[in-house]
Amino acid sequence: MLYGQGMAWRGDITICLSPQAIQAWTAVASLKPGGQRRYSDAVIEAALALRLVFRLAFR
């Protein structure tokens, strides 16, 4: 593999999700303008797990 090709693949990650997981991942719309979105506990736990695995900062 050439150096440039390796750089193109750097940071590429593929995650397979079931249709149920994708449906749970969608935030419930707020009824108020500018209101905060509400995510399920499963989505929050998955995001925290990815953060832990890849040693990411909270952002």
3-state secondary structure 41-53: HHHHHHHHHHHHH
CB 48 within 8 A of CB 55: no
The answer to pTM > 0.75 is no
The pLDDT, as a whole number, for residue 33 is: 84
Q: Are 44 and 51 in contact (CB under 8 A)?
A: no
Measured between alpha carbons, how far is 46 from 40 in angstroms, rounded to an integer?
Answer: 10
pLDDT value, residue 7: 62
The reported pLDDT for the residue numbered 43 is 83
Give CA–CA dist 56/39, Å, rounded.
20
* Residues in the chain, pLDDT under 70: 1-12
